Structure 1
Amino acid sequence: MNNNNRRGNASGKGGNDRKKTGGNNSRPGSNSGKPSFDKPGFGNKKPYGSKPHDKFEKKTPATPKATKPSDELRLNKYIANSGMCSRRDADLYISSGNVKVNGQVVTEMGYKVKLNDKVEFDGTTITPEKKEYLLLNKPKNFATSGDEGKDMRNVMELVRMATKANIQPVGRMDKNTTGLLIFTNDTDMIRKFSLPNQKSFKIYQVSLDRNLKFEDFEKIAGGVTLDNHRLMIDEISYIENQPKTEIGIKLRTQNVKVVRAIFEKFNYDVLKVDRVSYAGLTKKNLPRGIWRFLTEQEIINLKNIK
């Protein structure tokens, strides 16, 4: 570790079990000489008592009846599961008369539908989907939106064979930024991680055109003002055993463009930004351009983030 490292290496949480690997059959490549951000570092009593006893008659306890899973679903959840919007927004559409069930307008809150009912949302017939959660190690020259030029390839190409669900990326990432990107059809999660006050940690490796001066390192570590807003830096470090052009930085902001703006403010050209950790997820065993499904525990962890 470089002695000038003020706050230590940025680190994400450790390895995640892989349920399924998609994309292609590429073998994981080695990242020799690359920094390792994925090492750990950031992160019914049984009732008892005497049984009732009847001296005249021994009673046999009734066998509990097996309960069948309900085939009914609240209408707002049905809509949210279809990927159209969140439950909260679905309630607004329902109350406004924009939802039909079997041809009839329904405005009742809490209305339940069966899975074989025909539900129309704003004139479009919809079906509920199982929630899917994918993690992609995004390569360069893929955009997350369609407004970066007609010739630009879209990240959806990389995950199109993963599921039939209507998944979309969580947040935006420009074509030149690489690294971790979550995809899901869970509209509540997409909305949560897109809020400007979302406080989950993201860790980036930044490559600069020249060595980061120690005085600039110190200034960035103390916080940076961008567009009249003060941005606090959780951690910054020189990457161990790498040139001082390689910087690790840990932030809570959702906007990837902020990472470039920090260093450009001090007149450095940013050659590369790689997101190596996102809300506790890391790139371990996930080569560039490859995706995998999140584990159940990883999904729970994401949902528990405030």
Structure 2
Amino acid sequence: MTTETPQKERIAKRMARAGLCSRREAERWIEAGRVTVNGKTLDSAAFTVAPEDHITVDGKDIPALERPRLWRYHKPPGLVTSHKDEKGRDTVFDKLPEELPRVISVGRLDLNSEGLLLLTNDGELARKLELPATGWKRKYRVRVHGHPRDADMEKLAKGITVEGVRYGSIDGTIDSTKGANSWLTISLREGKNREVRKVMEYFGYSVSRLIRISYGPLSLGDLPAGAVDEVKSKILRDQMGVEKFDDQSAPPQLGQRPPRGKRQAIKRSSPAPAGPSTAPRKKGTLKARPSPKRTS
């Protein structure tokens, strides 16, 4: 049976809610035989789980669900929006305060972009906020080399195709021009990979600075570079449809994610045996991974 009920949910969704990965990545982990439920290794993501089911990935218990939380972060330029970088560059997650739990980003900002980046401990919330269907605008202040014209902005509003990729309507306003540079305000809803830079280059204007100043109802405001500020639960409920979490005051349970500064590296281990074990299980904590997101 694969139909979700109020008590049951898809295994991939449960893993995403725990902040481990995206639903799509969870499906790949399941196909690779890395996920067990009640001691049985899964070979398909078409499986539902109940709150009392025992779920492991690589032999480690997945974290207990925490209340969904969201933070505003002022990303400085020069940081990669991923947990690990193959080139050894500093990442956003290297610079976060140690007391933060394990978080993933809502969308991305590329290496040289800066401004508002949303962080959450809940993969499902991240997915919801990223979907174009949510209708949330991402607004940017953009400095370009050159002098854009009103005609360029009109073309952006109608949508353009660049190298076979269709970009929907983008709102652009020319704010000021000084010397060889101009400042624009750009608003979009899709957030495709490097979207702002690519559409500006299409018109012949190279972007020298890109600052995200708002994401839906959340704005960068006067948050200093490198600072983090948690979004109030009331905003999550009223504007993002997050249901009230009944156990907000409950003490941490086994399997919950400790603060970032108290984690130790997780070693890969063999999947749990097919049959139930009589030995007591030591519950470890898995690390979340950032799912691949679009960059603007």
Structure-to-structure mapping, 1:201-216, within 5 angstroms: 201-216=137-152
Asked whether 1:181 is paired with 2:181, we answer no
How far, CA to CA, are the matches of 1:189 and 1:198 in structure 2? Answer: 11
Deviation at 1:234, TM superposition (A): 4.1
Cα distance, 1:288 vs structure 2? 1.7
1:1-306 equivalent positions in 2, closer than 5 A: 76=11, 79-85=15-21, 93=30, 98-101=35-38, 103=39, 112-114=50-52, 119-130=55-66, 131-145=68-82, 146-147=84-85, 149-150=87-88, 152-164=89-101, 166-195=102-131, 199-239=135-175, 243=178, 245-255=182-192, 257-300=194-237, 301-303=239-241
AA aligned opposite 1:211: H
Q: Which amino acid aligns with 1:186?
A: D
**TM superposition score normalised by structure 1:** 0.61
Unpaired runs of 5+ residues, structure 2, are 1-6, 243-296
Q: Which moved more, 1:189-198 or 1:118-127?
A: 189-198
- Name the SS for the 1:143 alignment partner: coil
Between 218-227 and 290-299, report the one with greater CA deviation. 218-227
The unaligned stretches of length 5 or more in structure 1 are: 1-71
Instruction: Classify the secondary structure of the residue corresponding to 2:234.
Output: helix
Alignment: residue pair count: 226
Provide closer, same or farther for how the CA distance between residues 109 and 212 of structure 1 changes in structure 2, counting only shifts above 3 A.
closer
Q: How much has 1:196 moved relative to structure 2? A: 6.3
Per-residue deviation at 1:236? 1.4
CA distance in 2, matches of 1:86, 1:265: 32
Q: Relative to structure 1, is the Cα distance of residues 112 and 297 closer, same or farther in structure 2, using a 3 angstrom cutoff?
A: same
Residue type at the aligned position of 2:201: E
CA shift at 1:285, angstroms? 3.1
Q: What are the superposed Cα offsets for residues 52-95 of structure 1, whole Å, 9 maximum, x if unpaired?
A: xxxxxxxxxxxxxxxxxxxx99795764543235689879959x
Larger displacement relative to structure 2 (294-303 or 81-90): 81-90
SS of match in other structure, 1:163: coil
Tell me, in whole angstroms, the C-alpha distance in 2 between the residues paired with 1:259 and 1:287.
Answer: 23
- Quote the RMSD (CA, aligned, Å): 3.6
Alpha-carbon distance in 1 for matches of 2:77, 2:241: 28
Distance verdict in 2 for CA 1:214–1:83, change over 3 Å: closer
Residue deviations 1:210-258 (CA, integer Å, cap 9, x gap): 2223443443344322233442334211226x64700001111222511
**Residue identity opposite 1:126 in structure 2:** I
Contact 1:277 1:283 survives alignment (8 Å): yes
Does the C-alpha gap of structure 1 residues 100 and 247 become closer, same or farther in structure 2, counting only changes over 3 Å?
same
- Residue 142 of structure 1 aligns to a residue whose secondary structure is coil
Distance 2:58 2:227 in 1: 36
Name the SS for the 2:155 alignment partner.
Answer: helix
Contact 1:170 1:193 (C-alpha < 8 Å) held by counterparts: yes
- Quote the offset at 1:193 in angstroms: 4.0
User: What's the TM-score, normalizing by structure 2?
Assistant: 0.63
